[in-house]
Amino acid sequence: MSDTTQPAKAEETSLTRWLIETVFLVALAFALAFGIRTFIVEPFIVPTGSMIPTIEIGNRVLAEKITYRFTRAPRYGDIVVFPDPNGEHPHLIKRLIATGGQTVDLKDGKVYVDGKALNEPYTHGLPSEPLSPQFHFPLTVPQGSVWVMGDNRTNSGDSRVFGPVPVNKVEGHAVWTYWPLSAFGQLK
């Protein structure tokens, strides 16, 4: 009788062990995915046409989160991701134009930072005009904030509409488009 109960117990122990290992591996996979998404890199879907032609509506981009946490602050030219201040979309993606303490001016369709006209080939010649009577130019960006604008200057709800974005709201540096495959590559 002991010969028949031993295999049954061994099977039961084996099944229990397999179940525990499987649950552990699934929990570990979720924890790793959550950690990677929270602290290293996160995918985002571009909700608007404000970055056309650099990024099209619906493109999927990867934003890395390590640089701003450990190596440097956001700087001019970075494409940044942050929560939509107006709450219309979960996140917005825009180009950083100026940082805290710098003065932004919009004159004759051009952007000036600290009195110097920016060379902005990514706008493809679209004029940069004020969009809201709420902001008067020249405007000094408060310390701890950044001024962001979309590359599609004539169709972008950006800092000209909602004002400076606090640096602590910047969630990542968009660096790569991964979908659609026709747009696959580094963002510049």
Domain boundaries, the chain: 1-39, 42-186
What is the token pair recorded at 124?
Answer: 């493809």
Task: Give the pLDDT band of residue 34 (cuts 50, 70, 90).
Answer: confident
What is the chain's alpha carbon radius of gyration, rounded to the nearest angstrom?
24
From 50, 128, 156, 159, the catalytic residue: 50
Q: For residues 92-106, b (16+ Cβ closer than 10 Å) or e, as one string?
A: bbbbbbbbbeeebbb
Instruction: Out of 2.60.40.10, 3.40.640.10, 2.10.109.10, 2.40.50.140, select the CATH number for domain 42-186.
Output: 2.10.109.10
- Quick check: 157 and 127 in contact, CB under 8 A? no
The pLDDT tens digits for 147-175 are: 999 999 999 999 999 999 999 999 999 99
94 has catalytic annotation: yes
The pLDDT tens digits for 127-145 are: 999 988 889 999 999 999 9
pTM, entire model: 0.82
Mean pLDDT score of the chain:
90
Separation of alpha carbons 91 and 44, rounded Å:
8
65 has catalytic annotation: no
Separation of alpha carbons 154 and 151, rounded Å:
9
From 65, 94, 128, 145, the catalytic residue: 94
